[in-house]
Structure 1
Amino acid sequence: MVLEYERLALREVEEQDGLCIVGRGLGVQRIVSKLVKNLCRQQKLILGLRFSKEWLRSLEQWFLVSQKIAPHCYPREIDASYSRTERQSVYHLQQGFLIVSSTILVHDLLLHVIPADKVSCVVVNEAEFLVDESRIECFIIRLLKEQNKNCSVKAFSERAEYFTRGFHLVEKAMRNLRVTKLYLWPRFRVEVDHCLQRSSGQLVELEVRQTPKMASLSKAILEAMGACLVELKRRNKSIDVSELDIESALFKSFDFVILKQLEPMWHNVSSHTKQLIRDLRTLRNILTFATKLNCVSFFNFLMAITQSEDTSKSNWLMSKTGEKIFTYAKSRIYQRKSKETTDLGRKEKRAKSASTSNIPLDMKVILEPSPKWSVLHSLLQEIRAKTDGAQWDEMLSIGYGCRVIIFVKDVSTMVELSEIVKNDKAPEEYLRKEFQKLLKSRDEAVARAKRLLAKEIADSENFDEIEAGLDDLQVTSTNEFTSYCSNEDTLGEQDLFHNLSLEIPDIEIVTVEGRIETWKALEILESLKPRFVIMYEPQNSLIRQLEVYQNEMNELPLEVFCLVYENSVEKDKFEKALQYEAHSFERLIREKENMVVYVEEEYSNTEKIEEDTTRFGIIEEGTSNRTSRKIRGRIYVDMREFRSKLPQLLYDNGVELIPVTLSIGDYVLSKSIFVERKSLSDLTSSLQSGRLFSQVQQLCRHCRFPCLLIEFPPGKSFLLSSFSELVKELNPISLLSRLVLLTIHFPTLRLIWCHTEYFCGSVFAALKSSEPIDELPDIDSLSQPETDSREYDNYSAVDLLLQLPGVHERNVQSILNRFNSIQELCNADEAELEKTLGSNHAKILYEFLHSTTPNLYEGQFK
Structure 2
Amino acid sequence: MMLDFENQIFLDLFHEDGLLIMARGLGISRLFGEFLKVYCDPASLVLVLNTTPADEAYFSDTIEKNGIAHPPKIVTNEISTTERQNTYLKGGVLFITSRIFVVDLLTDRIPVEHVTGILVYRAHKIIESCQEAFILRLYRQKNKTGFIKAFTDNPEAFTSGFSHVERVMKNLFVKKLFLWPRFHASVALPFHKHKVDVIEVHQQMTPAMTACQTSLLDLINACVNELKRSNSSIDTDEITVENSLSKSFDLIIRLQLEPIWHQLSARTRQLISDLKTLRLVLRHLTQYDCITFYSLVQSIRSSEKSFGQNSGWLFLDAADSLFTHAKERVYGRKKLKQNQAKKKKTEKPEEEDEECEESDDEDAAPSLEPCPKWETLSEILAEITEEEETCTEVEDPNSASDKGDKSDKGSSNTNDEDGFLKPNNHVLICAEDDRTCNQLREYLCNGSEKLMSRLFQKYLFMKGGPKNMKAHAAMLAKIKENSNSDSGKGKETNPDSVTLTQMMRASKGDDFTTDSSDTKKDLPTTSKDAYYGLINFPLTVLHPLHGCSDPHGIARVLDEIQPKYVILYDADMSLVRQLEVYRATRPGKPLRVYFMMYKGSVEEQRYLTILRKEKEAFEYLIREKA
TM-score, normalisation: structure 2: 0.80
Query: 1:106-152 CA distances to partner (integer Å, 9 max, x unpaired)?
Result: 1111111211112111111000111x211111111111111212221
Would the aligned equivalents of 1:336 and 1:343 in 2 still touch at CA under 8 Å?
no
Aligned pairs for 1:499-538 within 5 A: 500-501=533-534, 506-513=539-546, 520-538=553-571
Gaps of 5+ in 1: 352-358, 446-492, 594-862
Would the aligned equivalents of 1:518 and 1:542 in 2 still touch at CA under 8 Å?
no
Match of 2:383 in 1: 382
Distance 1:102 1:205, change over 3 A: same
Match of 2:227 in 1: 232
2:547 matches 1:552: no
Would the aligned equivalents of 1:404 and 1:508 in 2 still touch at CA under 8 Å?
yes
Query: 1:502-558 CA distances to partner (integer Å, 9 max, x unpaired)?
Result: 778611111221677775423312211222110000100101011111112221111
Would the aligned equivalents of 1:404 and 1:533 in 2 still touch at CA under 8 Å?
yes
Distance 1:341 1:136, change over 3 A: farther
Distance 1:145 1:308, change over 3 A: farther
| Equivalent residue in structure 2 for 1:135, among 123, 130, 152 | 130
- How far residue 303 of structure 1 moved from its aligned partner, in angstroms, is 3.3
Q: Secondary structure at the match of 1:184?
A: strand
Match of 2:95 in 1: 99
Return the letter of the residue paired with 1:442. K
Aligned pairs for 1:231-310 within 5 A: 231-306=226-301, 307=303, 309-310=305-306
Match of 1:81 in 2: 78
Q: In structure 2, how many angstroms separate the alpha carbons of the residues matched to 1:575 and 1:210?
A: 18
Q: In structure 2, how many angstroms separate the alpha carbons of the residues matched to 1:395 and 1:200?
A: 25
**Percent of residue pairs identical:** 33
Match of 1:126 in 2: 122
Would the aligned equivalents of 2:55 and 2:552 in 1 still touch at CA under 8 Å?
no
Distance 1:318 1:387, change over 3 A: same
Return the letter of the residue paired with 1:525. L
- Which is higher, the Rg of structure 1 or of structure 2? 1
2:440 matches 1:428: no
Q: In structure 1, how many angstroms separate the alpha carbons of the residues matched to 2:438 and 2:342?
A: 37
TM-score, normalisation: structure 1: 0.58
| Equivalent residue in structure 2 for 1:193, among 188, 191, 207 | 188
- How far residue 66 of structure 1 moved from its aligned partner, in angstroms, is 3.3
- How far residue 343 of structure 1 moved from its aligned partner, in angstroms, is 6.3
Q: In structure 2, how many angstroms separate the alpha carbons of the residues matched to 1:514 and 1:187?
A: 25
Distance 1:238 1:499, change over 3 A: closer
Match of 1:50 in 2: 50
Aligned pairs for 1:16-27 within 5 A: 16-27=16-27
Match of 1:173 in 2: 168
2:458 matches 1:437: yes
Return the letter of the residue paired with 2:201. L
Return the letter of the residue paired with 1:50. N
2:614 matches 1:581: yes
Query: 1:670-695 CA distances to partner (integer Å, 9 max, x unpaired)?
Result: xxxxxxxxxxxxxxxxxxxxxxxxxx
| Equivalent residue in structure 2 for 1:208, among 200, 203, 215 | 203
Would the aligned equivalents of 2:427 and 2:541 in 1 still touch at CA under 8 Å?
yes
Q: Which moved more, 1:210-219 or 1:253-262?
A: 253-262
Which is helix-richer, 1 or 2? Answer: 2
Would the aligned equivalents of 2:212 and 2:326 in 1 still touch at CA under 8 Å?
yes
2:328 matches 1:327: no
Return the letter of the residue paired with 1:253. S
Would the aligned equivalents of 1:522 and 1:546 in 2 still touch at CA under 8 Å?
no
Would the aligned equivalents of 1:213 and 1:328 in 2 still touch at CA under 8 Å?
yes
Match of 1:453 in 2: none
Q: In structure 2, how many angstroms separate the alpha carbons of the residues matched to 1:348 and 1:537?
A: 39
Query: 1:376-430 CA distances to partner (integer Å, 9 max, x unpaired)?
Result: 111111111100165284555996444311011211111110111236xx11210
Aligned pairs for 1:465-504 within 5 A: 497=530, 500-501=533-534
Match of 1:665 in 2: none
2:122 matches 1:117: no
Match of 1:570 in 2: 603
- How far residue 326 of structure 1 moved from its aligned partner, in angstroms, is 1.8
Match of 2:364 in 1: 363
Q: Secondary structure at the match of 1:251?
A: coil
Would the aligned equivalents of 2:444 and 2:534 in 1 still touch at CA under 8 Å?
no
Aligned pairs for 1:446-465 within 5 A: none
Q: In structure 2, how many angstroms separate the alpha carbons of the residues matched to 1:237 and 1:308?
A: 31
Return the letter of the residue paired with 1:112. D
Would the aligned equivalents of 1:311 and 1:318 in 2 still touch at CA under 8 Å?
no
Higher relative contact order, chain-length normalized (CA < 8 Å, sep 6+): 2
Match of 1:6 in 2: 6
Q: Secondary structure at the match of 2:445?
A: coil
Q: Secondary structure at the match of 1:388?
A: helix
- How far residue 339 of structure 1 moved from its aligned partner, in angstroms, is 4.8
Q: Secondary structure at the match of 1:244?
A: coil
Distance 1:308 1:409, change over 3 A: farther
Q: In structure 2, how many angstroms separate the alpha carbons of the residues matched to 1:308 and 1:36?
A: 55
Match of 2:436 in 1: 413
Distance 1:514 1:172, change over 3 A: farther
Would the aligned equivalents of 1:336 and 1:364 in 2 still touch at CA under 8 Å?
no
How many residue pairs match? The answer is 532
Aligned pairs for 1:626-637 within 5 A: none
Return the letter of the residue paired with 1:92. L
Would the aligned equivalents of 2:529 and 2:548 in 1 still touch at CA under 8 Å?
no
Match of 1:844 in 2: none
Q: Which moved more, 1:304-313 or 1:114-123?
A: 304-313
Would the aligned equivalents of 1:409 and 1:537 in 2 still touch at CA under 8 Å?
yes
Aligned pairs for 1:646-795 within 5 A: none
| Equivalent residue in structure 2 for 1:311, among 296, 307, 310 | 307
Q: In structure 1, how many angstroms separate the alpha carbons of the residues matched to 2:343 and 2:589?
A: 57
Q: Secondary structure at the match of 1:509?
A: strand
Return the letter of the residue paired with 2:300. I
Q: In structure 2, how many angstroms separate the alpha carbons of the residues matched to 1:246 and 1:370?
A: 26
Distance 1:100 1:308, change over 3 A: farther
Q: In structure 1, how many angstroms separate the alpha carbons of the residues matched to 2:434 and 2:60?
A: 26
Superposition RMSD in Å: 2.7
Match of 1:154 in 2: 149
Q: Secondary structure at the match of 2:58?
A: helix
Q: Secondary structure at the match of 1:277?
A: helix
Q: Secondary structure at the match of 2:389?
A: coil
Q: In structure 2, how many angstroms separate the alpha carbons of the residues matched to 1:196 and 1:343?
A: 62
Return the letter of the residue paired with 2:382. Q
Q: Which moved more, 1:541-550 or 1:265-274?
A: 265-274
Distance 1:402 1:443, change over 3 A: farther
Distance 1:408 1:498, change over 3 A: closer
Gaps of 5+ in 2: 345-352, 394-410, 467-525
Match of 1:681 in 2: none
Return the letter of the residue paired with 1:159. N
Query: 1:569-606 CA distances to partner (integer Å, 9 max, x unpaired)?
Result: 0000101101111111111111001xxxxxxxxxxxxx
- How far residue 10 of structure 1 moved from its aligned partner, in angstroms, is 0.5
| Equivalent residue in structure 1 for 2:576, among 543, 549, 572 | 543
Return the letter of the residue paired with 2:455. E
Return the letter of the residue paired with 2:198. L
- How far residue 63 of structure 1 moved from its aligned partner, in angstroms, is 2.1
Match of 2:488 in 1: none
Q: In structure 2, how many angstroms separate the alpha carbons of the residues matched to 1:409 and 1:177?
A: 35
Match of 1:627 in 2: none
Match of 1:90 in 2: 87
Match of 1:708 in 2: none
Q: Secondary structure at the match of 1:311?
A: helix
Distance 1:517 1:583, change over 3 A: farther
Distance 1:40 1:444, change over 3 A: farther
